[in-house]
Homo-oligomer: A and B are copies of this chain.
Amino acid sequence: MGRPKNFEPDVVIAQAMETFWTNGYAGTSPADLAEATGVAKGSLYHSFGSKRELFDKALALYDRVGSEVTEEFLSRPGTAKERIRAYLVFLVDMDLNGPVRRGCLAANTALELGGRDEEATRAVRRTEERTIELLAARIEQGRRDGDVSPEIDARAQAQFLMNTIVGLRVMARTFDGPTLYRIIDTALAGL
């Protein structure tokens, strides 16, 4: 009972995520969120409590969607190296083709709030860990399939790739496509 919500909370969270992604946490005002979602400020506070709590929901959504995309990319047919390259290229292209280069929400948050904000730091780390797991699993599978050398330490390699990804998404702010693609090639030379 009571008056029904006249918006889909999940949709609003998704719109908020986009806004935070583009403008950063501090760079997004309640007014921005109201405009982006079409929901009045007061109503947002009523439903989500605070800007901060809404941001947490946005981070969680980003984590879910991100790991789905990663899984999807890595599970398609091909060698480990091929699939991982396709994934990295996809990430870079996402930045290059967008109207604004916004990088990775998790990495952006790590830089903006990392160390200063307990909860945000944990959320970011969770997202990174999960990606590392997925990469490590795919490399492991490559070893079983025989397209990855048994010398390779899957987890170490996955952590290194995670580092490369984070780097790329920051470098995408300042460097051009060819340079970024060349970095991908060099990073994957060891696989």
- Alpha-carbon gap, A102 to B175, bound state (A): 23
Contact with B along A102-129 (1 / 0, CB 8 A): 1100011011101110000100110010
Q: Say yes or no: A115 contacts B101, CB within 8 Å.
A: yes
Whether A160 is near chain B, meaning CB under 8 Å from some CB there, is yes
Contact of A173 among B121, B173, B175 (CB under 8 A): B121
The answer to whether A121 and B167 have CB atoms under 8 Å apart is no
Q: Does A60 contact B (CB under 8 A)?
A: no
A156 at the interface (CB under 8 A from B): yes
Residue in B102, B160, B171 whose CB lies within 8 Å of A166: B171
Give chain B nearest CB distance to A40 CB in angstroms. 26
Number of copies of this chain that the complex holds? 2
Q: Does A47 contact B (CB under 8 A)?
A: no
A97 at interface by CB-CB < 8 Å: no
The answer to whether A163 touches B164 (Cβ under 8 A) is: yes
Interface bits A170-191 vs B (CB < 8 Å: 1, else 0): 1101110001001101110110
> Which residues on B sit within 8 Å (CB–CB) of A115?
100-102, 173
Cα of A186 to Cα of B164 in the assembled complex, Å: 11
- For A186, give its contact among B111, B121, B156 (CB under 8 Å): B156
> Of residues A108, A160, A187, which shows the largest number of chain B Cβ atoms within 10 Å of its Cβ?
A160
Give chain B residues whose Cβ lies under 8 Å from the Cβ of A165.
Answer: 167
CB of A157 within 8 Å of the partner chain: yes
Does A174 lie within 8 Å of B125, measured CB to CB? yes
**A147 to B: closest C-beta gap in Å:** 18
**Residues 58-79 of A contacting B (Cβ, < 8 Å):** none
Binding site for B on A (CB under 8 A): 24, 26-27, 100-103, 107-108, 110-112, 114-116, 121, 124-125, 128, 156-157, 159-160, 162-168, 170-171, 173-175, 179, 182-183, 185-187, 189-190
